[in-house]
Chain A
């Protein structure tokens, strides 16, 4: 089951950049791909937000 808090974080970025649903899906997949490749976000725990 999807994690509501995580999806909300993505939605915040989507709203900021006024993405449509196709861009939103692609952006989410891109972040997942980054995580799969071991990339980490700028937060201390590696979070992307």
Chain B
């Protein structure tokens, strides 16, 4: 049996089925890992697919993957398939004082040493962590590396009036933005028409 997923007609539906999310993430399968970058707020982003240059005049040389996985403020684990390396972000999911652990200097150790560049995504599986009521993600790449995003509930994080809850993780795709969390919610925001985006970008560039 084969399945056609029409990215123009994605609706999570009232149940926000995890199977629907898994189907949506299927577009990552086969895409090559390009590079990782820390963005504003120390957010880790992984770039997959073809590389394009930024459309924004103030960032002309900045490269982006066609698909950008944003980890937002969620803990993560990256396991290298080519070397015995495990990168863990927080004490929540790793030993705080392991005798063999060293602080990871973000500038000195590139992700190219952990996930082989151009290795391809072979698995993209969201799964529910029942005890925390969050949706986690496991990616596997063809160099036998794996990436885990393991969101955690944050009771101290109070959303102020006018603010939107921060997603646990997200995937920017050519068709739109997949936002996952908080809790067990996920959504898909289709990309606007090229002309609308273009006018928005011009406004942003002049801001």
Contacts and interface: CB of A to CB of B under 8 A. Distances in A.
A3 B42 contact: yes
Given A17-B204, A25-B64, A7 B43 contact: yes
State which size class the interface on B falls in: 35 or more
Interface stretch (B7-15, B72-80, B112-120, B127-135): B72-80
A28 to B, nearest CB: 3
Interface string B93-108: 0000000000000000
B39 interface: yes
Contacts of A29: 37, 39-40, 54, 59, 62
A12 B67 CA distance: 24
Contacts, number: 103
Contacts of A18: 200
Interface residues of A, number: 29
Contacts of A6: 40-42
A32 B39 contact: yes
Interface in A1-49: 1-12, 15, 17-23, 25-33
Interface of B: 37-45, 54-56, 58-59, 62, 64, 68, 70-76, 89-90, 154, 157, 163-164, 166, 170, 172, 177, 189, 191-192, 197, 200-201, 203-204, 207
